[in-house]
Structure formats: C-alpha cells, structure tokens
Amino acid sequence: MQAEKLFDLRGQVAVVTGAASGLGLAITKTLAANGAHVALLDLNVDTLAAATNWVKDHGYSAESHQVDVSDSAALRTTIDGVAERHGRLDILVANAGISGGPNSRTDAGAIENVSDELWNRVVDVNLTATFVAIQSAAKHMKKQKSGRIVAIASIAGLRGDPMTGYAYASSKGAVVNLVKQASWELAPYNVLVNGIAPGPFRTNIAGGRIREPEIEKAFADTVPLGRIAETDEIMGLALLLCSKASSFMTGAVIPIDGGTVAI
C-alpha cells in the first residue's frame, strides 16, 4: 500500500490536549496536514489562538477550546462536545503535561522536600487528566468500534530518572500502565491505545528551561545521539500511531529518546 494511503487521516476527527505549543503543537500540525479535523485543547488563550490560526492559515481544518485539563468536568464536556458535533471521534492524543519541580539531584527536589501541593498538581495534570481524556474518548470510540488513543508518557516513566522530579516520574510511570490497562479493555472494540515516551525535547515545559545552555548540555550528555530533540521530530511516530499504519499495534509505549533507555 502506498504511504499516502497508510497515513491518510481525511474524514477523521482528532482531539489533542496541550495542543498549542511544544509536542502537542507538532502533533496537531502533522494530524491536520494529513487530513484530520483537529480540536485543539489548551489553557493558554494566546498560544491557542496562534496555533489554531496556523492550522487554518495552512488550509487545514481545526477548532479550538480553552480548557484546564485538571478540571475533569470541563475536560469531559469539551471532548463530548467535539464528538457529538462531528458525530464521531477517531483520534485522541492526551499530551497535556507539566514538570514535576526540581529534580531529585537537588536539595529542593529531595523526597522529603516534595510538597503535597506540587505532588497533587502534577498528578492532576499528568495522570488524572490523561485518564479522564482517555475515559471520555473511549466512550465514543467503543460505540463506533474504532479509534486511536495516544498518551504522551516519558522515558522518566520507564525507569528512574534523576533529571526529573518525583511527581513527574511517578505520574508518567502511571501513564505507562494506564496505556497498558486501557489497551486490554478496548482492543475488542478495535480501539488501539499506545503511548509515546519522549526523552529530552526542546519544549516549554518547566518554563522552557531546557533551552538554557547548561541544562541543555546536562540533558544532551545523557543521550547517545548527543543532543536533545526538536519538537517536529515526534511527528512521524505520532502519525504512525494515529493512522492505519499501526493497525496491529496496541498496548505499546515507544521511546523516542535518541537511544537513552538503551544504555
């Protein structure tokens, strides 16, 4: 089969959380460019408007919704609304996430100094919101007996990672098992659930601190390829998992990390 047919998303409806910047924006762009109508969900009004305008200005189909993913009721209502307006929901990319505070190599990030407030906020966004998004999408996908769900985890969820904070690593580890658990239930409905585990990418997480030369070098030194990734480098894997090309893949969590977890 030609590549164009394998990756053709025309007529499909997608929801992407945290869609206005970073990995979410890169994924939004590739889904839209390959024919999907994309509903962009994000908290930041300005970046959401800019991202949505980019998609539309390039001749692709999109809509936008400002939503705080940690507000479970609002997230459910938004996803339900997209599915009901379009009569279907084919793709969910649960991407929204935040950093877990200082890493465990620092005094501030030591286990005894992790506050309840930080822990709860990170778990609410990184884990609970991912669960709620999958739960909401699954309801519609089970009825239509088709769908693709992709959750953005992290290599910090695959093994210990002293470069990240406790709350981040723990929440992403839980996302890995959430993907596996949901894949078992939803497989009989032809709803495929997979995860992506990125290594260090040049995004805005933690205020974009990874762009600071010292921090970038610290992360790059952990990567066999010797560098951190640009956000567009996630596009191919995301498109694979959202398309016909991954028709026999479910329950997988795939690292995209320059070889980091191979060490």
Residues tagged active-site: 168
Side-chain half-sphere CA neighbours of 193 within 13 A = 28
Side-chain half-sphere CA neighbours of 225 within 13 A = 13
What span, in angstroms and rounded, lies between the C-alpha atoms of 42 and 20? Answer: 6
Phi first, then psi: what are they for 67, rounded to 5°? Answer: -155, 140
Distance from chain centroid for Cα 45? 19
End-to-end CA gap in the chain: 36
Query: Taking Cα atoms as reference points, which of 31, 37, 26, 24 lies closest to residue 243?
Result: 31
What span, in angstroms and rounded, lies between the C-alpha atoms of 17 and 139? Answer: 17
What span, in angstroms and rounded, lies between the C-alpha atoms of 51 and 26? Answer: 10
Provide the token pair at 119.
Answer: 């822990």
Phi first, then psi: what are they for 106, rounded to 5°? Answer: -105, 160
CB 23 within 8 A of CB 95: yes
CB atoms under 10 Å from CB of 33, counted, come to 17
The DSSP code sequence of 39-61 is: EEEES-HHHHHHHHHHHHHTT--
